[in-house]
Amino acid sequence: MNRPIRILGIDPGSRITGFGIIDVIGREQIYVASGCIKTIKNDELAGRISVIVEHISEIIETYQPTVAAVEQVFVNVNPASTLMLGQARGAAIAALVLRGLPVYEYTALQVKQAVVGQGKAAKEQVQHMVVQMLKLSGTPQADAADGLAIALTHALRNQGLAAKLGGSMIKAGRFQ
């Protein structure tokens, strides 16, 4: 009997980092938790990075995920924003790897394809599908929903692979 797979999905942002946690049992995805990590406006970089890494460490401590999936971010037209987003994302991944979690990366296109079934889906459609698939009673905050969507993407892509390969769970993604 395998330990159930618990996926921590992370959507990094320069101001708000969304997260979502789901369990995968067979072909079922079960909601565990979700939320946002908000950094303090106008705080210095080290302060903002502190907030991100401390909260992610706390989330890992509390929910004991077995794997992490992180959204790949787009480069912004504003270079300073791109740098800030990169710093937030680097800090989030650092917190994950320091806790020994395997980290997988998915693009926004892969998230839309996995969750909605087509890459041109609007953000609202992704959020709608997250609510449906996890049988949520309300709509989570947008960043939390994005975190859940990334966790779902990891679950669905591996389920697909597992089905194709006759039931054995294969870990796909960009890094292990």
Binding-site member from 93, 144, 152, 155 for a second copy (CB under 8 A): 93
Contact with a second copy (CB under 8 A): which of 11, 71, 105, 146? 105
Say whether 61 is catalytic: no
HSE-CB for 7 with a 13 A CA cutoff: 28
d(CA 97, CA 130): 26
46 near a second copy, rule: CB under 8 A: yes
Instruction: Please report whether residue 37 would count as binding a second copy according to CB under 8 A.
Output: no
CA nearest to 63, candidates 11, 101, 15: 101
In the set 23, 105, 143, 146, the catalytic residue is: 143
Map tokens 């599908």 to a residue: 129
CB of 158 to a second copy, least distance (A): 17
Mark the segment that binds a second copy (CB under 8 A) among 31-39, 44-52, 117-125, 143-151.
44-52
Active site residue 71: yes
In angstroms, the CA 100 to CA 82 distance is: 27
Instruction: Using DSSP, state whether 70 is helix, strand or coil.
Output: strand
Q: Parallel, antiparallel, or unpaired for β 103-106 and 5-11?
A: unpaired
Active site residue 43: no
N-terminal to C-terminal alpha carbon distance within the chain: 22
Binding-site members are 11, 71, 143
- Which residues sit at the interface with a second copy, rule CB under 8 A? 44-47, 49-50, 52-53, 57, 73, 75-76, 79-80, 82-98, 102-103, 105, 174-175
Which sequence positions are flagged as catalytic? 11, 71, 143
